[in-house]
Amino acid sequence: MLRVRGLSKRFGGFVSNADIDLDIEPGEIHAVIGPNGAGKTTLVNVIAGDLRADAGEILLDGHDVTTLPTHRRARAGMGRMFQITSVLPSFTALENVAIAAQARGRSFRFWHRANADRDLNQRAEMSLARVGLSHQASALAGEMGHGEHRQLEIAMALVAEPCLLLLDEPTSGMSGADSVALIDLLRTISETTAILLVEHDMDVVFSLADRITVLASGRRIACGTPPEVRADALVQQVYLGAGATAAPAMAEHA
Amino acid sequence: MKVRGRVALSGGGVAALVLLAGFALLPLAQQPFVTRIGTGIFILALATISLNLLVGYGGLVSFGHAAYFGAGAYAVAILSHYGTHRGWIAFAAAVGGSALLALILGAASLRVRGVFFIMITLAFAQMLYHLSTAVEKLGGDDGLRVVPNSFGPLFLGERITLYYVSLGLLCAGLVISDRLVASHFGRVLVGIRDNERRMRSLGYNPYHYRLLAFVIAGALAGLAGALEANLDAYASPELLHWSISGDLLVMLVLGGSGSIVGPLFGAVSFQLVQQVLSGFTSHWMLYFGPALVLIVFVSRRGVAGLFAGTRPHHVRGGR
For residue A50, which residues of chain B lie inside 8 Å, CB to CB?
A: 197, 200-201
Q: Is residue B180 part of a domain?
A: yes
Under 8 Å between Cβ of A77 and A60? yes
Same-domain check for residues A250 and A179: yes
**Could you give the strand order of the β-sheet that contains A194-198, starting from the edge strand earlier in sequence?**
A78-81, A164-168, A194-198, A29-33, A211-216, A219-224
- Number of domains chain A contains: 2
Contact A113 B180 (CB under 8 A): no
Q: Is residue B313 part of a domain?
A: no
User: What separation, in Å, do the N-terminal and C-terminal C-alpha atoms of chain A show?
Assistant: 30
Helix (H, G, I), strand (E, B) or coil at A126: helix
For residue B203, which residues of chain A lie inside 8 Å, CB to CB?
A: 71-72, 74-75, 103-104, 160
User: How many residues in total does chain A contain?
Assistant: 254
Distance in Å, alpha carbon of A34 to nearest chain B alpha carbon: 25
Q: Is residue B318 part of a domain?
A: no
Same-domain check for residues A157 and A170: no
Helix (H, G, I), strand (E, B) or coil at B148: coil
Same-domain check for residues A126 and A227: no
Which of A161, A184, A212 marks a domain boundary? A161
Same-domain check for residues A168 and A72: yes
Distance in Å, alpha carbon of A99 to nearest chain B alpha carbon: 7
Tally of CA atoms within 13 A in the half-sphere of B140 that contains its CB: 3
A residues 86-145 near B, CB within 8 Å? 86-91, 95, 99-100, 102-104, 106-117, 140, 142
| pLDDT average per 10 residues of sequence, chain A (254 residues) | 94 92 94 91 95 95 95 94 91 97 89 93 96 94 91 94 93 84 90 92 90 93 92 84 50 49
Of A86, A95, A113, the CB nearest to B195: A86
Q: Is residue B10 part of a domain?
A: yes
Which range of residues forms the domain containing residue A138?
86-161
Which of A107, A126, A161 marks a domain boundary? A161
Same-domain check for residues A12 and A72: yes
Same-domain check for residues A105 and A204: no
Contact B182 A114 (CB under 8 A): yes
Contact A111 B201 (CB under 8 A): no
What is the mean predicted confidence (pLDDT) over B186-190?
97
B231 contact partners, CB below 8 Å, separation of at least 6? B36, B39, B40, B43, B162, B166
Which range of residues forms the domain containing residue B235?
2-24+38-306
**Could you give the strand order of the β-sheet that contains A14-24, starting from the edge strand earlier in sequence?**
A14-24, A2-11, A55-60, A63-64
Contact A107 B1 (CB under 8 A): no
Helix (H, G, I), strand (E, B) or coil at A215: strand
Q: Is residue B33 part of a domain?
A: no
Contact B194 A90 (CB under 8 A): yes
Residue type, A229: V
- Domain with B108 in it: what CATH number? 1.10.3470
Predicted pLDDT of residue A100:
96
Task: Tell me the residue ranges of DSSP E strands in chain B.
Answer: 2-3, 6-7, 144-145, 150-151, 154-155, 234-235
Same-domain check for residues A192 and A205: yes
Same-domain check for residues A176 and A241: yes
For residue A70, which residues of chain B lie inside 8 Å, CB to CB?
A: 200-201
Q: Is residue B29 part of a domain?
A: no
Task: Name residue A217's beta-bridge partners.
Answer: none
| Residue B257's pLDDT band (cuts 50, 70, 90) | very high
State what percent of residues in chain B have pLDDT above 70.
94
pLDDT single digits (tens) B90-139? 999 999 999 999 999 999 999 999 899 999 999 999 999 999 999 988 98
- Number of domains chain B contains: 1
Of A50, A114, A140, the CB nearest to B187: A114
Same-domain check for residues A227 and A239: yes
Contact A113 B182 (CB under 8 A): yes
Same-domain check for residues A106 and A184: no
Same-domain check for residues A170 and A72: yes
- Domain with A176 in it: what CATH number? 3.40.50.300
Q: Is residue B209 part of a domain?
A: yes
Which of A161, A179, A199 marks a domain boundary? A161
